Structure 1
Amino acid sequence: MVSVSVSASAKEPVFDVHVHLREGEASLHEYQADVAASGVELDGLAAMWFGGPHQALHGELDKVRTGNDAIIALAAKQPQLLPVATVHPYDGQAALYELTRVAGRGVKVLKIHPHTQKFDADDPRVLMLVRHAGAQGMTVLMDNANILPGDSERLFNLAIQAPKTKFIFAHIGAMNFRFWNMLALARTADDFFADNIYFDISATVVLVADSPIEPEFVWTLRNVGIDHVLLGSDYPQLGIGKAVDALERLDLTDEEKAKVRSGNARRLFGR
Structure 2
Amino acid sequence: MKPELVLDAHTHVWPDKIAGLALNANPVPGLEPRGDGTVSGLDAAMDAHGVTASCCLGIANEARHVDSVNRFVADLASARRYPVGTIHVDLSVEENMASLRRHGLKTVKIHPLFQNFALDDPRLWNILEAFGSEISVITHVGEGGDARTNALSSPKMIYDISRQFPDLTLMACHFGGYKILDDAEEMLSGADVILETSWPPTLTTLAPDRVKRLIRNHGSERIVFGSDWPMTNPGEEIAAIHRLGLTDDETRQVLGGNLARFLDLSVS
Shorter-chain-normalised TM-score: which range? 0.7 to 0.9
Which residue is 1:198 aligned to? 194
Question: How has the CA–CA distance of structure 1 residues 126 and 99 changed in structure 2, closer, same or farther, with 3 Å as cutoff?
Answer: same
Please, which of 113, 119, 122 is the counterpart of residue 124 of structure 1? 122
- Count matched residues: 238
Partner AA of 1:98 in structure 2: N
Question: How has the CA–CA distance of structure 1 residues 185 and 140 changed in structure 2, closer, same or farther, with 3 Å as cutoff?
Answer: closer
Which residue is 1:238 aligned to? 232
Q: CA deviation at 1:134?
A: 2.4
Give structure 2 stretches of 5+ with no counterpart: 18-36, 145-149
Q: Partners of 2:250 and 2:101 in 1: how far apart?
A: 31
Partner AA of 1:44 in structure 2: A
Please, which of 96, 106, 112 is the counterpart of residue 104 of structure 2? 106
Q: Partners of 1:180 and 1:162 in 2: how far apart?
A: 21
Q: CA deviation at 1:11?
A: 5.0
Deviation readout 1:122-147 (Å, 9 max, x if unpaired) = 21111111121224x11111101344
Q: Partners of 2:212 and 2:178 in 1: how far apart?
A: 13
Please, which of 68, 71, 93 is the counterpart of residue 70 of structure 2? 68
Describe how 1:97-176 pairs up with structure 2 within 5 A.
97-103=95-101, 105-135=103-133, 137-147=134-144, 148=150, 151-172=154-175, 173-176=177-180
RMSD between superposed Cα atoms in Å: 2.5
Q: Tell me if structure 1 keeps the 8 A contact 2:46–2:53.
A: no
Give structure 1 stretches of 5+ with no counterpart: 1-7, 187-194
Partner AA of 2:135 in structure 1: M
Q: Tell me if structure 2 keeps the 8 A contact 1:17–1:231.
A: yes
Partner AA of 1:122 in structure 2: D
Q: Partners of 1:159 and 1:89 in 2: how far apart?
A: 19
Runs of 4+ in structure 1 deviating by more than 4 angstroms, as ranges, are: 181-186
Please, which of 247, 260, 265 is the counterpart of residue 241 of structure 2? 247
Q: Tell me if structure 2 keeps the 8 A contact 1:175–1:204.
A: no
Which residue is 1:180 aligned to? 185
Q: Percent identity?
A: 24
Which residue is 1:35 aligned to? 46
Which residue is 2:8 aligned to? 16
Say whether residues 1:88 and 2:88 are aligned partners: yes
Q: Tell me if structure 2 keeps the 8 A contact 1:16–1:232.
A: yes
Q: CA deviation at 1:84?
A: 0.6
TM value normalised by structure 1 = 0.79
Q: CA deviation at 1:112?
A: 1.0
Please, which of 42, 45, 48 is the counterpart of residue 54 of structure 2? 45
Question: How has the CA–CA distance of structure 1 residues 217 and 175 changed in structure 2, closer, same or farther, with 3 Å as cutoff?
Answer: farther
Alignment partner of 1:255: what SS?
A: helix
Question: How has the CA–CA distance of structure 1 residues 101 and 214 changed in structure 2, closer, same or farther, with 3 Å as cutoff?
Answer: same
Partner AA of 1:215 in structure 2: D
Q: CA deviation at 1:270?
A: 0.7
Partner AA of 1:143 in structure 2: H
Q: Tell me if structure 2 keeps the 8 A contact 1:15–1:261.
A: yes
Alignment partner of 1:82: what SS?
A: strand
Alignment partner of 1:174: what SS?
A: coil
Question: How has the CA–CA distance of structure 1 residues 24 and 82 changed in structure 2, closer, same or farther, with 3 Å as cutoff?
Answer: farther
Q: Partners of 2:46 and 2:264 in 1: how far apart?
A: 23
Deviation readout 1:7-34 (Å, 9 max, x if unpaired) = x9x9522101111111269812111112
